Amino acid sequence: MDNINFIVIAFIFLNGSISVKCQMHEPDELMPEFYAPLENWTVTQGRDIYFTCTVNNLGNYKVAWIKSDSKAILAIHTNLIAHNHRLTVTHNGHNTWKLHVFNVQKNDTGSYMCQINTQPMILQTGYLDVRIPPNILDETDIEGPGSAAMEGGTIRLRCRSTGKPEPKVHWKRKDNRHIVIRSDGAREKQDSAIVKGDTLELSNVHRTDMGKYLCIAKNNVPPTVSKEFNVQIHFHPMIKVTNQLVAAPIGSNVHIQCYVETSPKAMHSWAKINGGDLIPSVKYEMSETPINEYSLQMDLTITSLEPKDFGGYLCIAKNALGKAEGSIRLQELHLPSAPTTTEASPSEPEDEDEEDDESANSEEENLVPVEESIGPDSGGGENRLSSDGFDLRRVQQEQHLSTRKPQRTDQNGGGGGGGGVRHHDQKQRHGSKDSGHRSPCPCWPLVLLATLALLWSLWSRTVPVAGACR
């Protein structure tokens, strides 16, 4: 038996000697060497990477790929050993080998070795760091009393996330209003745009805390993720009426409204006091306008008011926690009647203006002979001109002293008053050339025309006028 053991040991030694002897190389043989170090990678989960191993003077030696932490042989030369469909090995036919890792995952993180089977063996290492974007766990993993509570209670929201590196979590309101943190049982409160931490606790909640809150997780690995929480605060319905007394005349349309605050949602309706509920119709137009998460405006328009429509109206809100009502009284508005005074019809001043225009037109026609009479044959010359200028000033003075109303009264009376004056004026205009002056004219257009006539006379002094004053 001892002889057998000795033979085995001798055989092993001999084989070892042979093996060592086979690995020995000539002194002038070049040993393999790495041309460049392996890369270090930091990538986001799901990306593709590769390690490049360039070896000079490889000879008959082999290149192997090994994962350092698990000591698992991934590939030898161009043969893939690991049963992983996301790994491949390529060789350019010269001195470069590549290990490809597709769709990298968290468990791919670690050191990778490119090793050559020399004695002693040589190797180089590269590191793969896989970054994982943040992820917020499902709602089933949220702990706490939930996102609904009675007014004055407590709400605790928890948002747990995963990722590499570990994400940082903060809270904010979706509408960008501040988050109010109240001390339990204390009046002091703090408000802030954001609150850090994976847990948000709201104590002594108020209805203004109702709304949507966002949990945001980020770790500088895109994309940043968020999750929405809907906070509900429950309370008894409340109705506010800004105008409790409304007045409107018969036949008009009247609009009344109420402001309702309620959570959970309530049933809203209108009713008439000492009457039944109102239903939407052509007579009653109803609408609701939301204001925020817990309040809205109720509107009622009553068309073509009748005496039976006056009285009290109720706006009603009812939910699981109770009922609230608001009352509005509608009464008739009596408009003042139009005054009954005896006044002249508005057409009379127009008649006076028309009559004045007619008299002015007739007087303008009567001025034509006067213009023709101031010619060279009159013998007046400049004396005549100065006399006309004096008459014009008298016309202007007497025009301020005279009024049309007495003249109109005399004319209407049929006597010789106003009518006689007008006739006398016309007679004076048609008088002889020896007349010293013309009678006053009650209209300013006559003054303008008389001035134009004087200017025309100056021009006619040197040019004979044919057919003067026949």
Per-residue pLDDT 10s for the chain (470 aa) are 443 333 333 333 334 433 333 444 455 578 999 999 999 999 999 999 999 999 999 989 999 999 998 889 999 988 999 999 999 999 998 999 999 999 999 999 999 999 999 999 999 999 999 999 999 998 654 544 468 999 999 999 999 999 999 999 999 999 999 999 987 665 678 899 999 999 999 999 999 999 999 999 999 999 999 999 999 999 999 999 999 999 999 999 999 999 999 999 999 999 999 888 999 999 999 999 999 999 999 999 999 999 999 999 999 999 999 999 999 999 999 888 766 555 544 444 444 444 444 444 444 444 333 333 333 343 333 333 333 333 444 444 554 444 444 444 343 433 443 344 334 344 444 443 444 444 444 567 778 888 888 887 777 665 554 444 33
Residue 344 is predicted with a pLDDT of: 46
CA distances to 136, 233, 403 from 293, in Å: 26, 10, 77
Identify the pLDDT of residue 310.
95
CB atoms near residue 70 (< 10 Å): 11
CB 433 within 8 Å of CB 347: no
Looking at residue 277, the DSSP 8-state letter turns out to be B
For residue 161, what are its two tokens? 């996330």
- Is there a contact between 425 and 440 (Cβ–Cβ < 8 Å)? yes
Residue 140 DSSP SS3? helix
The torsion angle over the Cα atoms of residues 142, 145, 146 and 149, rounded to 10 degrees, is: -170
137-235 and 242-332: same fold?
Answer: yes
Residue closest to 404 by CA, chosen among 371, 359, 362, 467: 359
- CA dist., res. 160 & res. 141, Å (int): 8
Q: Superfamily assignment of 33-132 in CATH? A: Immunoglobulins (2.60.40.10)
pLDDT value for 449: 83
Separation CA 174–CA 142 (nearest Å): 19
Using CA atoms of 137, 141, 144, 148 in order, give the dihedral in degrees to the nearest 10.
70
Instruction: Calculate the CA dihedral of residues 339, 344, 348, 350 and round it to 10 degrees.
Output: -30
C-alpha torsion sign, points 163, 165, 169, 174: negative
Can you count the helices (H) and strands (E) in the chain? 6, 27
Number of Cβ within a 10 Å radius of residue 267: 11
Inter-CA distances, 311 with 21, 248, 305, 408, Å? 120, 12, 12, 59
pTM exceeding the 0.95 threshold for the entire prediction: no
Helix axes 347-373, 444-460, angle to 10 degrees: 20
Q: How far, rounded to the nearest angstrom, does the alpha carbon of residue 454 sit from its chain's CA centroid?
A: 75
Sequence-distant (6+) residues with CB within 8 A of 450 are 367, 370, 388, 392, 395, 438, 441
Structure tokens given for 22: 């086979």
**In Å, how far from its chain's centre is CA 28?**
83
- Neighbour-count burial of 219, counting CB atoms closer than 10 A to its CB (0-12 exposed, 13-18 middle, 19+ buried): buried
CA-CA distance, 177 to 250, in Å (whole number)? 47
Domain 242-332 matching CATH 2.60.40.10: the answer reads yes
Tell me which CATH code domain 137-235 carries.
2.60.40.10
Residue with tokens 């393999």: 32
Count CB-CB contacts under 10 A for residue 167: 24
pLDDT at residue number 399: 47
Q: Which residues contact 181 (CB under 8 A, 6 or more apart)?
A: 189, 190, 191, 192, 195, 202, 203
Q: Any idea where the domains of the chain sit in the sequence?
A: 33-132, 137-235, 242-332
> How many Å apart are CA 452 and CA 368, to the nearest integer?
11
Matching residue, tokens 């690991």: 82
CA distances from 141 to 82, 158, 160 (A): 37, 9, 8
CA distance 39 to 32: 20
Q: What are phi and psi of 17, to 5 degrees?
A: -65, -45
